[in-house]
Structure 1
Amino acid sequence: MENSKLTLTLARLTFASTALICFVGVLLELWYAYHHQSSLPPNAGFTRTFGPGIDSLLNQFSFFTTQSNLILGITTLILALNLDRTSSSFHIWRLIGVIDITITGIVFNFVLQTVPKNDIIADTASRLEHDIAPIIAIIGWIIFGPAGMVTLRRILIAAILPIAYAIFTLIRGAIMEWYPYNIMDVPRLGYSGVAVNIVGIFVLFLLIAAFLALVDRLLSSRYGRISFSK
């Protein structure tokens, strides 16, 4: 009984810590955006920038990084408040949060070309959002679950969001002549080049989802994890 209570407490603390990291990272990012003009990706094929001011702050919500941190933060906060989540829709959003933040970490650190801000606020926000949040999210998911949430149906539904994000970004970019990442820079790469990058990211999404499904099944059957209703 005591071990069970300790496990539940550790799970809540882990989820609460994850949510705090995500929210602090986003708040610092928004603060920096409000007070500075946005920067262009390296070798950008467009010249539009935002800010400083409210337009730059609001534009931050068009970044995949911001969205993935918010989704992960909200879902882990919900778990911290109540671990017994049985809703299928919640488990889908939980899956989206874990997969998307993993994509964020991998793409930012290994794919994107970025320009260092050399600002303590911006650097802290970047470290929290791109490095710490993905790591603690995966660790928390592996140890505390919730177990048994990864199904093919939920993966397919979760995949709708990155597809919708890509479509929205391309339409918005064509209208506003601005793109959030160099891998989606249509003026420089053309739609064919951007399409290749989008397909690559989608394949990464599926690979991460397959990895989570495999690990979820192995850990749940062999070692046991916090198990909620599906």
Structure 2
Amino acid sequence: LPYLLIINIVHFQFRKVPHVGAEDFFKDCENQLIEKTDKKFNSIKECIVNKQQYLQLQFSQLKMNYENLMKEVCKKVLTNDNLLSKHEEFKGKVLEEFDDLTNNGKSVNYMVERRQKLDEDIEEIFDYYKSKNDKSLNEFVQKCISTKRQAKNVLMEPLENLSMFDSVDDVNSTYNRAFNEALDLYMELQDLISFNQETFDEYLSELREEFEAELQRITRRAEVGERVKNAAKTVLLTVVIVGFVAIFKVPPPI
């Protein structure tokens, strides 16, 4: 609008110049002036459009930068806290890049509005990846729970075949073999593409605690069994000794 106003003023001033007797010349000059001003106006208008397109292109590129960062980090399953931390880090980086853009003649309010729009679009992208991560995280947690249960069964099966009178050494030997087999089963979770270290370690820690509790239980039972066996041996030995003594004390027949 200001440029059009300037053009009209120029044309008005040109028409005020006396041109009696040179109407054709002035008419040609006016046509040339109109042609040049129109050309200049179209050039400026095209430049403005190009700047708008360039700003929109930069805007789209910034959103793409954020999404690429989230896509890469979400190849692994993250805890909610880790995902939120990455989101805030990437969002802050993108908004800083936006703040470094030149406004290309745009008003401050326009740039504020575009920044707000970028913020909103980033939050929408984050919601999408959070939804995907929540689903993958839940699936991984269920897988950890299921595998932990299977590993516990692998440990318990040979232990349940032990009797009270098996020695502590036999108990430890059986436990160690079953423990290694059960732990190997759980460790297969590391081969999953979607792998979350914190969740994996959490259930591994629970599994080790349960294994340790079982070891203590069967060890105490074996120790009780050994005491019973030792007591039985002592009683048996006492009975044998008493029997021999009784035999030797019996007077020979007359």
Q: TM-score, length-normalised on structure 1? A: 0.32
Give the structure, 1 or 2, with the largest relative contact order (CA under 8 Å, sep 6 or more).
Answer: 1
